[in-house]
A = this chain, B = another copy of it.
């Protein structure tokens, strides 16, 4: 499972609370690995047990206390070791494709609506990606860390672009039936 590793990766940047991590998963790394805050807190518990992170409570006045999690050398080592293990290809599970596959049993108009919604969602995501790219990576000298994030981001961009193209093509096809 890469949730553990995704968390460790975030913590290589800086020590963070569960809340910070959850926000990261909503914004940056979450584009490649989605996780809810509940999942993150539970996983943090496991990582602490394994000794991959160490956690310390920090008092705050007004707001609830934060628990800051720091990557340990053992955690860093685990991350390196993970990097050499084969990445398993993501399992394709797409309602939409199943619906096309079963077209004769589907409500075509409803399917068209769903296609439209999907396209909009991917469009929104794409815009977000472009904004991040412009803001953080364009016309700037980049170190290895940033180059890696840029490669991931560009893969994300291309993924969304090609997804939108595919959905448009499908829409045309079912429009011409």
A positions within 8 Å CB-CB of B? 2, 5-6, 9, 12, 28-29, 31-34, 76, 79-80, 83-84, 86-107, 110-111, 114, 117-118, 121, 143-145, 147-149, 151-152, 154-156, 158-159, 162, 165-166, 169-170, 173-174, 177
- Which chain B residues lie closer than 8 Å to A147 at the CB level? 103, 173, 177
Who on chain B is nearest to A12 by CB? B105
The CA-CA distance from A31 to B75 in the complex, in Å, is 36
Which listed residue (B28, B80, B102) contacts A9, Cβ 8 A? Answer: B102
Q: Once the chains bind, are A98 and B148 in contact (CB under 8 Å)?
A: no
State whether A121 and B80 are in contact (beta carbons under 8 Å apart), knowing that A152-B101, A155-B170 are contacts in the complex.
no
Known: A32-B94, A86-B117, A155-B169. 19 other contacts (CB 8 A): A9-B101, A31-B97, A32-B92, A32-B98, A33-B92, A34-B91, A80-B105, A83-B106, A83-B107, A86-B114, A87-B114, A90-B93, A90-B94, A98-B152, A101-B152, A103-B147, A103-B148, A154-B173, A158-B162
Who on chain B is nearest to A29 by CB? B101
The CA-CA distance from A164 to B45 in the complex, in Å, is 37
Each complex incorporates copies of this chain amounting to 2
What 6 pairs between A and B have smallest CB-CB spacing?
A: A103-B148, A162-B162, A32-B97, A87-B95, A83-B106, A9-B102
Q: Once the chains bind, are B104 and A144 in contact (CB under 8 Å)?
A: yes
The CA-CA distance from A102 to B5 in the complex, in Å, is 10
Looking at the assembled complex, report how far the CB atom of A170 sits from the nearest CB atom of chain B, in whole angstroms: 6
- Which chain B residues lie closer than 8 Å to A104 at the CB level? 12, 143-145, 148
